[in-house]
Structure 1
């Protein structure tokens, strides 16, 4: 079985719902990115990632870059591990309330123009097909994977902290949760 590491991005320079919809990392986030890299590099060679994948958003790319550089690999961008898509008709100012309402429910209850249950299945399927890989993603995407693997229909099944590393295993078809990453002591904000 190959090991996958699903890493939430480091602490961004701006909170979601702010003016910058694609913030990079602040100083704490940069330190968290280096700590994630160091943790991954300390793994036994057979478990160490050989590929690094990131959401297209800047906070994920900046969290992934130290690991990709240390491993000497090209950072692969994969939209499938990106942020939860916002409904098309939703104004930017409405994203925060929409997310808060979505977080309180199940995948089937999320309002929008997308099948969000199918969205979470597509993330999990994209991960199952990978070998030893470090995947840098987001709070909701990580919850999408963990909720599917545990059979819990809730959108939020745990609160992965910034740079939290969730460990998964795959045989190329099936994906198994080995360990949830470190949980945050505060909310998403």
Structure 2
């Protein structure tokens, strides 16, 4: 029995990158992308609950859709940004670069002292997604979306899909099993640096 169809939306383009700011909002391009995503999603048969990461870039991406549907976005910490190790902004950016090229076991084993338990973070995110009891739209992040798609593909790579800003990926959750319904638009091969804005 199908429990839920979930629309995972990567946040729109932020005003600064992961190496420059802890919690940026959207830039002008990002605000336009958020409106475009809302226009696409409002074609669904009826309004759905809207969930969002606590971070500004996701909350601001969710706003046009929430206003269109007249709903209040629900902050959903479990689908937030991958937690950072205890590093400065520039060092975090290099850590992220390396993390994105590795698998989850290596990410944990090579994490700097004082880092979070990335396995536990990943499992908490997947448990929250599997527990969704109805259709919903979820505004999240590049790596968080990859956690979900990786589970559907049974992949241990940190990155198995490259969702572009404001792209919409649909998954189905059935009895705790995650299946891909439709992958969203991906980042072009010449735009890899954009991903560091997550």
- Same fold, judged at TM 0.5 (above): yes
Q: Paired residue for 2:45?
A: 44
- Preserved CA contact (<8 Å) 2:148 2:178: no
What do the CA deviations read for 1:42-64 (whole angstroms, capped 9, x no partner)?
1233xxx5211111110000000
- Preserved CA contact (<8 Å) 1:121 1:148: no
Question: Alpha-carbon deviation of 1:144?
Answer: 1.1
Unpaired segments of 5 or more residues in structure 2?
A: none
CA distance in 1, matches of 2:90, 2:14: 19
Correspondence 1:25-44 to 2 at 5 A: 25-44=26-45
Correspondence 1:1-189 to 2 at 5 A: 1=2, 2-18=4-20, 20-45=21-46, 49-87=47-85, 89-110=86-107, 111-112=110-111, 113-130=115-132, 131-171=134-174, 173-185=176-188, 186-187=191-192, 188-189=195-196
CA distance in 2, matches of 1:175, 1:33: 26
Superposed CA RMSD: 1.5
TM-score (norm 2): 0.87
CA distance in 2, matches of 1:172, 1:119: 21
TM-score (norm 1): 0.91
Question: Alpha-carbon deviation of 1:93?
Answer: 2.7
CA distance in 1, matches of 2:121, 2:183: 20
